[in-house]
Amino acid sequence: MAAGDGPAGPRWLYLHGFASGPNSTKGVAVEAHYRRYGVAVQRLDVRRPSLSSLRLSAMMQAVRAAIGEPRDRAVLWGSSLGGLTAARVAEEDPRVCALVLLAPAFRMIERWRARLGDVAWQTWQDSGWIEVDDHVTKSKARVDFGFAVDAEAIDARSGGWPDVRVPTLIVHGKRDEVVDIALSRRFAAERRHVRLVEVDDGHELVKSIDRILAAADDFLAPLLG
């Protein structure tokens, strides 16, 4: 039987990245591609509870709720922060049976601290807000410091790395200036069930959508009937 949204196969969920939304280019492409297989990909809105009050823990809760019933299974796709979210859900929810992670934002808060520097980090903490580009509204937005506190607490689990034990495909760009590909290389090297595909692209991976879909078709073949 074909995998899909019904009882015959797992539920397929796509999680967008930070400051992005469910209508992201990659999410729309993934949904359209797998519709041809009879697979319904649900593009989740994981701005939870909102972009300004974003919490990784709330994002994870939304994903768990979307998977459905206790006996249901899920294939999780995640881009950047969505990839980190998917991995964190997978480490504690046995219903997740496979992961496809696109430039996953491993060790996110650790990297943000280093990139911002001590002064800017303290300013964010003192003011309570940091300004970011909102890719959905094409405008500036503010994210409160509670996001960093919440994500740092979660990211400290398992030595800072998600304890993922399900088959996992990672696609990462060699020219990624947001999330260093070295993180995905290390994650994959230490886990035999993780496959890493490197592409000549940056963080957004928009130029590599065909490569992503081809690699995912091969990786997820057992779930495609």
Q: Is residue 100 part of a domain?
A: yes
Position 100 scores a pLDDT of: 98
| pTM assigned to the model | 0.94
Q: Is residue 139 part of a domain?
A: no
Q: Is residue 200 part of a domain?
A: yes
18: CATH: 3.40.50.1820
Position 78 scores a pLDDT of: 98
Q: Is residue 23 part of a domain?
A: yes
Q: Which residue, chain included where needed, has tokens 């797992």?
A: 10
Q: Which residue, chain included where needed, has tokens 């950047």?
A: 80
Question: d(Cα 14, Cα 12) in Å, to the nearest integer?
Answer: 7
Q: Is residue 175 part of a domain?
A: yes
Q: Is residue 6 part of a domain?
A: no
In the chain, how many domains are there?
Answer: 1
Range of the domain at 16: 11-107+146-220
Task: Tell me which H or E stretch contains 26.
Answer: helix 25-35
Written as one letter, the residue type at 10 is P
33, 52, 89, 184, 221 from 20: Cα distances, Å:
20, 13, 19, 21, 28
Task: Tell me which H or E stretch contains 173.
Answer: strand 168-173
Q: Is residue 113 part of a domain?
A: no
Give the count of alpha carbons within 13 A of 45, CB side only.
7
Residue 128 contacts residue 195 (beta carbons within 8 Å): no
Per-residue pLDDT of the chain (225 residues; tens, 9 = 90+): 344 444 458 999 999 999 999 999 999 999 999 999 999 999 999 999 999 999 999 999 999 999 999 999 999 999 999 999 999 999 999 999 999 999 999 999 999 999 999 999 999 999 999 999 999 999 999 999 999 999 999 988 888 899 999 999 999 999 999 999 999 999 999 999 999 999 999 999 999 999 999 999 999 999 987
Question: d(Cα 156, Cα 99) in Å, to the nearest integer?
Answer: 21
Q: Is residue 127 part of a domain?
A: no
Position 3 scores a pLDDT of: 44
